[in-house]
């Protein structure tokens, strides 16, 4: 028969044992929380932004123009298309404008003249002509105009696809959003945004109004009130629609 005193550890050993049991309990609790978090929030996103994210990528934009060996550059129709492409690049373009032209076809002089004309058109439309990069490909030759591809890349935004209904929405005890919830709104936002780069990061500050700044500084030097004074001419709000 063992005495009870022999089965009770000394005080320091008991404290170490209790501390070990506490650490083990905390570890099991944390592990349980991680499993619970992975099971509910990681595998099944609850927010529609996570279920239907808007992805921003690059999309090519290009046209086909022709270099005519018997002409001194682009035709009037091709020049109009190049000008329209330059305006599109100025608003939404990114990076370099590529011109893919043939070599070895006997139309090198026409390609050179067309590339020079394209640079002139870019400059007139407010695009730096140095953004044009000419890439050549081998051609077996021939007669008549040779095609050239003018292209650039722009940001594009898209979301979806929509129409996924894996569960019965009439039975929803947890009151959680259904799978297709928010998909149409995300697709509409991606289609309507003016510049998809705004979804990646905020735009920089635009140029200051130099004329207004000079006016305010001049008034400040003279000791005048630099605030803008608005005059309503005594017109009531109810009378605006009748004028």
Q: Is the pLDDT of residue 127 over 90?
A: yes
pTM here? 0.56
Where are the alpha helices (H) located in the chain, listed in sequence order? 4-7, 11-37, 48-51, 76-92, 108-124, 183-192, 197-200, 210-222
Q: What is the pLDDT of residue 131?
A: 94
CA distance linking residue 111 with residue 105, whole number of Å: 10
* Residue range(s) defining the domain that contains residue 119: 55-158
Encode pLDDT of 155-195 as tens digits.
899 888 888 888 888 888 888 888 888 999 999 999 898 88
Number of domain units in the chain: 2
Is there a domain that residue 95 lies in? yes
Q: How many CB atoms lie within 10 A of CB 18?
A: 10
Question: ∠ CA 227-232-234 to the nearest 5 degrees?
Answer: 140
Point out the domain boundary residue: 158, 180, 206: 158
Q: Is the pLDDT of residue 235 over 50?
A: yes
CA distance linking residue 52 with residue 163, whole number of Å: 11
pLDDT, average across residues 115-138: 92
User: Most distant CA pair in the chain: distance in Å?
Assistant: 118
Point out the domain boundary residue: 158, 180, 214: 158
CA distance linking residue 198 with residue 204, whole number of Å: 10
Q: Is the pLDDT of residue 3 over 50?
A: no
pLDDT confidence of 78, banded at 50, 70, 90?
very high
Q: Is the pLDDT of residue 241 over 80?
A: no
Which secondary structure element, helix H or strand E, spans residue 99, and what is its range?
strand 93-103
Q: Are residues 14 and 104 in the same domain?
A: no
Q: What is the pLDDT of residue 71?
A: 72
Q: Are residues 103 and 148 in the same domain?
A: yes
Is there a domain that residue 171 lies in? no
Mean pLDDT for the chain? Answer: 77
pLDDT, average across residues 76-95: 91
CA distance linking residue 174 with residue 228, whole number of Å: 57
Is there a domain that residue 193 lies in? no
CA distance linking residue 214 with residue 222, whole number of Å: 12
Encode pLDDT of 4-57 as tens digits.
333 334 444 444 444 454 545 544 444 444 433 333 444 556 788 888 899 998
CATH number, domain with residue 127: 3.30.1330.60
Instruction: Tell me the CA distances in angstroms from 95 to 44, 47, 155, one per residue in order.
Output: 38, 34, 11
């Amino acid at each position: 028969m063992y005495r009870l005193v022999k089965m009770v550890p000394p005080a320091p050993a008991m404290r170490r044992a209790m501390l070990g049991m506490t650490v083990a309990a905390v570890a099991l609790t944390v592990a349980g929380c991680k499993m619970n978090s992975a099971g509910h929030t990681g595998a099944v996103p609850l927010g529609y932004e996570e279920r239907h994210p808007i992805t921003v990528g690059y999309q090519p934009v290009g046209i086909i123009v022709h270099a005519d060996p018997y002409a001194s550059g682009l035709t009037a129709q091709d020049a109009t298309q190049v000008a329209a492409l330059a305006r599109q690049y100025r608003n939404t373009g990114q990076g370099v404008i590529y011109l893919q032209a043939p070599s070895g076809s006997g139309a090198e002089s026409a390609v050179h003249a067309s590339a020079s004309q394209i640079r002139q058109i870019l400059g007139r439309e407010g695009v730096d002509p140095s953004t044009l990069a000419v890439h050549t490909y081998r051609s077996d030759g021939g007669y008549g105009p040779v095609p050239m591809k003018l292209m650039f890349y722009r940001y594009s935004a898209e979301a979806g696809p929509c129409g996924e209904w894996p569960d019965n929405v009439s039975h929803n005890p947890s009151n959680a959003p259904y799978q297709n919830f928010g998909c149409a709104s995300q697709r509409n936002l991606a289609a309507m945004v003016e510049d998809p780069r705004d979804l990646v990061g905020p735009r920089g500050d635009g140029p200051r109004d130099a004329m207004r700044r000079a006016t305010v500084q001049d008034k400040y030097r003279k000791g005048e009130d630099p605030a803008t004074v608005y005059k309503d001419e005594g017109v009531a709000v109810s009378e605006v629609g009748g004028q």
